[in-house]
Amino acid sequence: MAKNKIMNRMTRQGAGWVCTLADFADMGSPQSVGMALLRLVRQGKVRRLARGFYDLPRRDPLLGELMPTAEAVIDAVRRRDRIRIEPHEAMAANLLQLSEQVQGRLIFNTDGPARRFKIGPATFELRHRAARKMASPGGMTALVLTALRAFGKGHVTPAHIAHLRGLLTPKDRRKLMDDLAQAPAWMRSHLLDVSREGTLP
């Protein structure tokens, strides 16, 4: 039965994994998968987060069911729509603790269509950006490039560099070097400083 296969896949992925109908396209038509998920929700085995979004909730002994992470939600959208998504500049700086500005919404750039949706109390906003203006590499490199773009040329300080060097792992810094050619020219000296071993003078 599709219901059992869906439950098995969600269990393998673990609590906190956010999924959509697209994640079970190999198990039947959208209608049959949707009905199977609805039955799992009614049985209390799966949580419906919003229209088209489901998860096995993470649980805390004191707080009970926890909402999924923003990363888990965005990963689900990325898989479903097959689009590129990266944090908006201000959000990237916030995620890397380079800014104390509190984000009222979770804002991301995408080469897909602009949209806004809610998952629990969180509002997600996807802003369309031309693919050529998005950071080419993925992972931590994209986050660092996007955060530096938030400050702009001439406004990246030694304190920003020192903070990133302390935050990034040696593996992250090596990846930054591997992706150096894909960064804007004005960022490259900053990325070299972030990646360099030892301490800043």
What is the C-alpha to C-alpha distance for residues 108 and 125, in angstroms, rounded to an integer? Answer: 6
Q: What is the pLDDT of residue 103?
A: 60
Q: What is the pLDDT of residue 152?
A: 87
C-beta of residue 7 within 8 angstroms of C-beta of residue 45: yes
- Burial class of residue 31, CB neighbours in 10 A (0-12, 13-18, 19+): exposed
Listed as ranges, residues in the chain with pLDDT below 70 are 1, 100-104, 135-138, 197-201
Q: What is the pLDDT of residue 200?
A: 44
What is the C-alpha to C-alpha distance for residues 149 and 152, in angstroms, rounded to an integer? Answer: 5
Instruction: In the chain, list all ranges with CATH 1.10.10.10.
Output: 2-66
Q: What is the pLDDT of residue 132?
A: 77
Q: What is the pLDDT of residue 16?
A: 94
If you classify domain 2-66 with CATH, what class do you get? mainly alpha
